[in-house]
């Protein structure tokens, strides 16, 4: 399907004046790792709110299934295959989106290695697995930001949202490769906010708690473990992907124009309770 490129970027006044300032309608939003789990739900919800959702994932077949769901619900979506750890692949993804819509307004760096990680003592983690986790979770985030930054700079506008994890604050044992990677994402967010703020680009980070999705993990938490974790939250129930939608919408909307370099916990108050 051919779509006429959008010729102008949205502009934020910095002062919310109406409900429109909380809208993400007509924003071109790339969600990486969007073929399943949290990313799938974010892409679906952004499209339902009137955004143009790019479902970017290594698994093109699953990404196309998500886009089909979006179209059936009356939204607009585009499936793009991408390996976030591969620079040419990331460049091709960004080129495809710009060719389709002429701009990129929002990047949500959600793709990461998580479900397939094997836990173990830090000194027993295979070096190959350590490097793979950092390559996808850290370098992949960096490559995606670098690829969209030039387009956002030219537009004088952009919203970048990185996804970390509450495992960082908990210092989860036997999970050092993942915790290290998600800690790096927070540091990257802080520095990028400094470098890109003068170009009208905000960079923030969301730190989810443990989210129940359809994705099978190498080691799935037991019902007892989930119940215990929920009991430590201020809101004592399990977290689901839709719990992240509100904060993601806000960080992509005009109302958050003066918020950057922040890491926002969305964990039912687990951090507050610990």
CB of 225 within 8 A of CB of 254?
no
Our CA dihedral for 260, 240, 41, 205, rounded to 10 degrees, sits at: 10
Assigned superfamily of 20-273: NAD(P)-binding Rossmann-like Domain (3.40.50.720)
User: How far, rounded to the nearest angstrom, does the alpha carbon of residue 236 sit from its chain's CA centroid?
Assistant: 25
pLDDT for 92 equals 98
- Model pLDDT, residue 132: 96
Cα(264)–Cα(116) distance, integer angstroms: 25
Q: Which residues are catalytic?
A: 178
Total residues belonging to the chain: 274
- Mean pLDDT over the full length of the chain: 91
Q: Sorting pLDDT into bands at 50, 70 and 90, what band is 2? A: very low
pLDDT by residue (tens digit) across 53-101?
999 999 999 999 999 999 999 999 999 999 999 999 999 999 999 999 9
| pLDDT at residue 230 in the model | 83
pLDDT over 70 at 18, yes or no? no
CB 76 within 8 A of CB 66: no
Convert the pLDDT of each residue in 230-253 to its tens digit. 888 888 888 889 999 999 999 999
Domain regions of the chain by residue span: 20-273
| pLDDT score recorded for residue 41 | 97
């Amino acid at each position: 399907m051919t779509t006429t490129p959008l010729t102008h970027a949205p502009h934020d006044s910095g002062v919310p004046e109406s409900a429109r300032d909380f809208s993400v309608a007509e924003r071109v939003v790339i969600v990486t790792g969007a073929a399943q789990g949290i990313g799938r739900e974010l892409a679906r919800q952004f499209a339902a709110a009137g955004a143009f959702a790019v479902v970017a994932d290594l698994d093109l077949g699953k990404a196309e299934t998500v886009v089909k769901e979006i179209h059936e619900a009356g939204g607009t979506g585009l499936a793009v295959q991408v390996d976030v750890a591969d620079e040419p692949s990331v460049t091709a993804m960004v080129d495809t989106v710009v060719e389709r819509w002429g701009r990129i307004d929002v990047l949500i760096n959600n793709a990461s290695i998580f479900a397939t990680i094997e836990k173990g003592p830090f000194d027993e983690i295979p070096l190959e697995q350590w490097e793979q986790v950092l390559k996808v979770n850290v370098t992949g985030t960096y490559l995606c930001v670098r690829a969209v930054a030039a387009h956002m700079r030219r537009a004088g506008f952009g919203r970048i949202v990185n996804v970390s994890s509450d495992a960082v604050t908990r210092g989860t044992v036997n999970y050092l490769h993942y915790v290290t990677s998600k800690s790096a994402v927070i540091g990257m967010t802080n520095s990028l906010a400094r470098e890109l703020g003068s170009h009208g680009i905000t960079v923030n980070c969301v730190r989810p708690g443990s989210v129940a999705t359809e994705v099978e993990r190498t080691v799935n938490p037991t019902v007892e473990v989930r119940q215990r974790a929920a009991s430590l939250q201020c809101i004592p129930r399990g977290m689901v992907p839709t719990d992240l939608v509100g904060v993601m919408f806000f960080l992509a909307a005009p109302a958050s124009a003066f918020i950057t370099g922040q890491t926002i916990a969305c964990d039912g108050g687990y951090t507050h309770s610990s």
